[in-house]
């Protein structure tokens, strides 16, 4: 090949743009999250939030409980080319759950209790801003505890007859002392005794995705610890605003509360009365008659 031809070939290789279609892994649904595959280091504007894909082009986005049915995703590739995508977000229906018999101080808190709640919220909000740039979540997820599902994501809660914020997590009930394991690898970003949430641990799974574990009895990790998937991190308890021993497992993408059930590829919606047994979810109609 002569010199001129070789140069033309090199020029062609440099100038041929690689076409990056928007690749989405996961379900576009309220309370869900998806992995995006973009041109490496692309910048993204998603509902006013600025994000950047990693050197492999990987990025996560998530959808709130009441996310609108369409959402705009703007992708700016490293050469400055902008593409806008319209995402259709599947809408869900949520159940109503009544909970009675809570101590009045936790339903209508007094001033001192409110001050502690505000301080807890401030600390939690700080931890929710952390952007751990290790994709721990790629290891996948398993259930953090064995027990009965007593609360699901999104349900409208009526506490002692008063409408309150929806329940934004999954509750798993079992006796005090039941072990709680990290559902995936991650970095511990908060360990705190809180007024409503009780003893609380945050484990960051990377790229904004985080698990919150509440109402714990004992806590075996400290801020900054790296935990492995399946590592014992705490035991179940009834600390904070709880009517009995259970784990509240919440998940967020930054400050967007998402459905922990979205980390599993469930072929049926999670319902109260199902049981986590030997790491598997067993629905009521599959449970042995007793």
State the Cα–Cα distance between residues 113 and 123, nearest whole angstrom: 16
Least CB distance to Zn ion at residue 248 (A) = 3
Per CB under 5 A, residues contacting Zn ion are: 151, 169, 171, 248
**Contact at 8 Å (CB) between 35 and 26?**
yes
State the Cα–Cα distance between residues 200 and 264, nearest whole angstrom: 23
Nearest residue (beta carbon) to Zn ion = 248
CA 212 to chain centre: 8
**Contact at 8 Å (CB) between 226 and 194?**
no
Structure tokens at 255: 């400050």
**Contact at 8 Å (CB) between 122 and 163?**
no
**Contact at 8 Å (CB) between 223 and 203?**
no
Least CB distance to Zn ion at residue 246 (A) = 7
Nearest to Zn ion of 151, 198 (CB atom):
151
Least CB distance to Zn ion at residue 77 (A) = 41
Nearest to Zn ion of 171, 204 (CB atom):
171
Least CB distance to Zn ion at residue 110 (A) = 23
Nearest to Zn ion of 67, 171 (CB atom):
171
Nearest to Zn ion of 75, 168 (CB atom):
168
Nearest to Zn ion of 167, 187 (CB atom):
167
Nearest to Zn ion of 48, 103 (CB atom):
103
Please give the torsion angle defined by the CA atoms of residues 31, 48, 35 and 78, in that order, rounded to the nearest 10 degrees.
Answer: 180
3-state secondary structure labels for all residues of 103-158: CHHHHCCCHHHHHHHHHHHHHHHHHHHCCCCCCHHHHCCCCCCCEEEEECCCCEEE
């Amino acid at each position: 090949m002569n010199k001129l031809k070789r140069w033309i070939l090199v020029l062609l290789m440099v100038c041929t743009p690689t076409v990056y279609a928007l690749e989405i892994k996961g379900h576009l649904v309220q309370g869900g999250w998806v992995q995006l595959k973009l041109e490496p280091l692309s910048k993204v504007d998603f509902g006013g939030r600025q994000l950047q894909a990693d050197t492999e082009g990987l990025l996560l986005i998530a959808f709130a409980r009441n996310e609108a049915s369409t959402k705009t995703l703007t992708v700016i590739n490293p050469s400055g080319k902008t593409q806008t995508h319209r995402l259709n977000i599947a809408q869900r229906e949520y159940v109503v759950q009544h909970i009675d018999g809570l101590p009045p101080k936790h339903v209508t808190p007094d001033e001192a209790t409110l001050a502690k709640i505000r301080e807890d919220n401030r600390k939690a909000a700080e931890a929710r801003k952390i952007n751990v740039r290790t994709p721990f979540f790629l290891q996948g997820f398993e259930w953090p505890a064995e027990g009965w599902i007593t609360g699901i994501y999104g349900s409208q809660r009526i506490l002692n007859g008063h409408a309150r914020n929806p329940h934004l997590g999954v509750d798993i009930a079992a006796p005090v002392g039941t072990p709680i394991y990290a559902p995936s690898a991650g970095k511990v970003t908060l360990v705190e005794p809180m007024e409503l949430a009780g003893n609380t641990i945050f484990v960051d799974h990377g790229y904004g995705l985080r698990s919150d574990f509440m109402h714990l009895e004992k806590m075996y990790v400290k801020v900054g610890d790296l935990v492995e998937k399946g590592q014992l991190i705490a035991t179940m308890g009834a600390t904070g605003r709880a009517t009995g021993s259970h784990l509240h497992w919440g998940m967020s993408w930054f400050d967007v509360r998402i459905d922990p059930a979205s980390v599993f590829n469930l072929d049926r919606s999670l319902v109260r009365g199902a049981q986590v047994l030997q790491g598997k979810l067993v629905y009521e109609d599959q449970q042995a008659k007793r």
